[in-house]
Amino acid sequence: MKKVVLALALLIFTTMAAKAEFLGGFIYNGATTPGGGYTNVAANKQGSSTCKNIWYIVTVGDCSVKTAMKNGGIRTLAGYDVHRENILGFQTITVKAWGN
């Protein structure tokens, strides 16, 4: 039984390390990365969307740019950022969008 648990833990940690969006910091990570769509348009509105992830195995929620725009009442996107906060494999991903 110990060998199975150890093999499963090793598989989980190596899978997490191979993910491109895993920015390091399994114990703690609080990084904001640029999303895209940056324009010189003045942004009057802001919206956000959030989802939660557990050890890169289970993800719940909707953290898409489209949902962030909907939540902020944005029709024209000026830009967005992605904030990831990871504490011991429990990750919260928040997308913040702004525009008009």
Please write the tens of the pLDDT for every residue from 49-85: 999 988 878 889 998 999 999 999 998 888 899 998 8
Q: How far apart are CA 26 and CA 58, in angstroms?
A: 16
Dihedral of the alpha carbons of 41, 95, 50, 12, in degrees to the nearest 10: 170
Report the number of distinct structural domains present in the chain.
Answer: 1
Tell me the residue range of the domain where 34 lies: 2-99
pLDDT in the model for residue 94: 93
pLDDT value of position 51: 94
- Residues 15-55 have pLDDT tens digits of 555 454 545 666 777 777 777 777 777 788 999 999 998 88
Question: What pLDDT does residue 18 have?
Answer: 47
The pLDDT, as a whole number, for residue 68 is 92
- Residue indicated by tokens 């953290």: 63
In 3-state terms, the chain is what percent helix, strand and coil (to 5)?
25, 45, 30
| Secondary structure letter of residue 37 according to DSSP | -
